[in-house]
Amino acid sequence: MMELFATTAFLFCAALFAFLLAINRVRLYNKLKEPNNNLCATENTCCGEIKLQNGELPAGKLPTRKPPARMPTVMPSDKKAKKVVPLSVNYHFTRKCNYKCGFCFHTAKTSFVLPLDDAKRGLELLKNAGMKKINFSGGEPFIVKKGAFVGELVKFCKQTLGVESVSIVSNGSLVSERWFEKYGEFLDILAVSCDSFDADTNEKIGRQQGQKSHLISLRSVRRLCADYKVAFKLNTVVNTHNKDENMVEEIMQLNPCRWKVFQCLLIDGENTGPDALRRAESFVITNAEFDEFLRRHKDVEYLVPESNEKMQKSYLILDEYMRFLDCTKGAKEHSRSVLDVGVENALNFSGFDEKMFFKRGGKYVWSKADMQLDW
């Protein structure tokens, strides 16, 4: 009797289960026929889609829902972009110059110079953001208040901010011994631009003022640097007028701590294009001509060459308003001033390639306290 009851109960449960399963299949089938349903009813089997066979679901298979249409296939990385540190900054605080170099790519389009206190405030912001080297350039830095403006900035950066390296790039024509007496101890490096050791070539380039000899000014600054223990550096722009010159002997005599050799660079709006103050197209040389100049001077151990690619991407340049300049597209696109938006925000618009900076040797022994120089 008990066995009969158990058998009957088992058959009843099995029948009930089959009935419920059939109802569920009917409901699903009706759902598939509804417009804009979220169930797959195609011949594809990807993403769990099931094909209807003669209007029926395949035995043993239930359809699955499509994934959300906008679900990302790759989850975003939680890694943050590496923060750029303004390790070395070039501050072109003036565009005015007493020379008229034909290839100049930072021309006198304005006469603006920040008030001294504002410039100091910006430099402090940069130091707090990680700046270890500041280079003052122009234009001609010594043209503003006869060098007193750049002198006060040099003193402030070294004495007050404790910046590791403070340097200036100048044409050398306005540098005096009186300036060295007052500010020389605070300056690590003074770089002078010299593109030729031939007076006629310098005149063709525009690297002089009136009849004053650029080469005499160059050698005078070299002597002052030695007398006041400031590291002397030399900058040369290779162009059509000097590309065949051999400067080895003269460079060796001057014995700079570094000799930066640049390839002439075109910047739209500065030395090329309808709005430019210079027309440098005739000064441009080929990569092969630049390489040949470098081969001719390969025995100069302190030669540091910089092609156009390296120049455009690897410098942090501030203009006279303390705006970073992005030159990567062949023109100068500026950020907002660090005085208005801060250093980190402005850096986002600098176009700076940190890897290229290190590749070109942008970080070197740049404090005169660490240099082993024979003064």
Residue 336's pLDDT is 96
SS (H, E, C) 180-200: HHHHHHHCCEEEEECCCCCHH
Predicted pLDDT at 316: 96
Measured distance CA(336)–CA(273) in Å, rounded? 24
Give residue 311's pLDDT. 82
Could you please report the per-residue DSSP string of 349-369?
TS---HHHHHHTT-SS---TT
pLDDT at 15: 59
Dig out the tokens for 309 from the structure.
């690619």
pLDDT of residue 112: 97
pLDDT of residue 9: 54
The dihedral through the CA atoms of 210, 213, 219, 224 has a sign that is negative
- Please report the pLDDT score of residue 67 as a whole number: 38
From 13, 46, 104, 264, the catalytic residue: 104
DSSP code at position 272: B
Q: Which two tokens stand for residue 101?
A: 């170099």
- List per-residue pLDDT tens for the chain, 375 residues long: 555 445 555 555 555 556 555 555 545 445 444 444 443 333 343 334 444 444 444 444 444 434 333 333 333 334 455 788 999 999 999 999 999 999 998 999 999 999 999 999 999 999 999 999 999 999 999 999 999 999 999 999 999 999 999 999 999 999 999 999 999 999 999 999 999 999 999 999 999 998 889 999 999 999 999 999 999 999 999 999 999 999 999 999 999 999 999 999 999 999 999 999 999 999 999 999 999 999 999 999 999 999 888 887 889 999 999 999 999 888 999 999 999 999 999 999 999 999 989 988 899 999 999 998 776
User: Facing residues of 262 across strands?
Assistant: 237, 306
Q: Which of 97, 93, 96 is nearest to 115 (CA)?
A: 93
Catalytic residue among 97, 194, 264, 327: 97
Predicted pLDDT of residue 312: 77
Report pLDDT for 375. Answer: 61
pLDDT of residue 308: 87
Any catalytic annotation for residue 257?
no
| Beta strands at 88-92 and 317-318: parallel, antiparallel or unpaired | parallel
pLDDT score of 81: 56
Q: Are strands 133-137 and 165-170 parallel, antiparallel or unpaired?
A: parallel
CA dist 219 and 229 (Å) reads: 15
What distances in angstroms separate CA 7 from CA 4, 17, 187, 188, one per listed residue? 5, 16, 104, 102
Claim: this prediction has a pTM higher than 0.75: yes
Q: What's residue 59's pLDDT?
A: 45
pLDDT of residue 166: 98
pLDDT digits (tens, 9 = 90+) for 247-256: 999 999 999 9
Please give the pLDDT value at position 52: 42
Within 13 Å and on the Cβ side, how many CA atoms surround 299? 6
Whether residue 97 lies in the annotated active site:
yes
Catalytic residue among 40, 101, 257, 264: 101
